[in-house]
Amino acid sequence: MPRTPAPRPSASPALDARVARLRQAAHAEPRLEGVLLYGSWTTGEADAHSDIEAYLFLDDGHAGTFDGPGFLRALGPLALAHTNQFGVLAVVFDDDLMRGEFHLEAAGPGIEAVADWRGLVHLPDPAAAVLLDRGGRLAEAAARLAAPLAPEPAKTATHLTGELANWTLMLAHLLARREDARAHNLLHARVSPLQLQLCRLLRGTTDHWLTPSRAAERDLPAADLDRYTATTARLEAAGLRAAARASWQWSRELAAEAHGRWGTPVPQGLHARIAGLLDRD
């Protein structure tokens, strides 16, 4: 379902002000060729708890030497600035604890790659998301992200059904080995997002596809939220095993629903064997 363009102003005056400062600072920095926002501000979902997220496309000759934290101080004092595990400059602004994530990219290959983000990034209003575009290439590439690209149902459901079987089998083996901490992490960090994606696919609520837990309280029926809740547990042996069994039962029901709707394959024998492993004490 397409989202409407982000309203101006948003529900976060602080974020609006920081976006305005970023636009001003970018136009004053000659080494920048383009700046592209993404995230909740660009989709009209920003609130008082939202981050600021952007790609900073630098002249190719300056991409490796640009002082990112120094530039971002024009947006506010920094309490933290570090390169995270994904190679992204992550900052925290000291005045209001707003988080920021900034990708510093060489403009040549970086802007060229933007058009290939379809299905990963959705910009309902590309013109608002582009804060700086000295050469015109960024606006052209961002325009290709205006229409959401929904996942293809049958292919995606088949993939998710396989993924859920694979990771739940690993979960069963971890529980049998009594690696409860590792099993707890796998259940919540790996299996649950896949379930929520398959659930969203079936319910037709794929707007938050890449972060399927986002706005789940609003997007999914109460019955599905109850099933999701049953898959969560404290790191306690009996409760964790009960949550794992409830998780696999929900996965099997979602897979069966997908099969009934799109004819996707379900390996019934394997599914039953995984259930048997999870039923062991």
Instruction: Please check the confidence at residue 5 and state whether its pLDDT lies above 60.
Output: no
Provide the number of structural domains found in the chain.
2
Query: Are both 140 and 17 inside the same structural domain?
Result: yes
- Counted residue by residue, the chain has a size of 281
Q: Measured between alpha carbons, how far is 72 from 69 in angstroms, rounded to an integer?
A: 5
Query: Are both 178 and 103 inside the same structural domain?
Result: no
Comparison of pLDDT for 207 and 69, the residue scoring more? 69
Q: What is the pLDDT of residues 132-150, one digit of tens each?
A: 999 999 999 999 999 888 8
Share of the chain above pLDDT 70, in %: 97
Q: What is the dihedral of CA 151, 154, 156, 161, to 10 degrees?
A: 150
Query: Are both 274 and 164 inside the same structural domain?
Result: yes
Query: Are both 31 and 112 inside the same structural domain?
Result: yes
Q: List, in sequence order, every residue forming a beta bridge with 52; answer none if it has no partner.
A: 100
Q: Measured between alpha carbons, how far is 202 from 179 in angstroms, rounded to an integer?
A: 33
Position 9 scores a pLDDT of: 80
Q: Final residue of a domain: which of 144, 163, 186? A: 144
How many helices and strands in the chain, by DSSP H and E?
13, 6
Q: Final residue of a domain: which of 144, 167, 200? A: 144
Query: Are both 171 and 274 inside the same structural domain?
Result: yes
Tell me if 37 sits within 8 A of 19, measured CB to CB.
yes
pTM for the full predicted model: 0.84
Instruction: Please check the confidence at residue 7 and state whether its pLDDT lies above 60.
Output: no
User: In the block, which residue shows the tokens 């136009």?
Assistant: 27
Segments forming the whole domain that contains residue 220: 153-279
Task: At 4, list the tokens.
Answer: 């409407």
Give the domain CATH number at 46: 3.30.460.10
Residue 245 forms part of a structural domain: yes
Task: At 157, list the tokens.
Answer: 């459901």
Query: Are both 22 and 136 inside the same structural domain?
Result: yes
Task: Give the 3-state secondary structure of residue 8.
Answer: coil
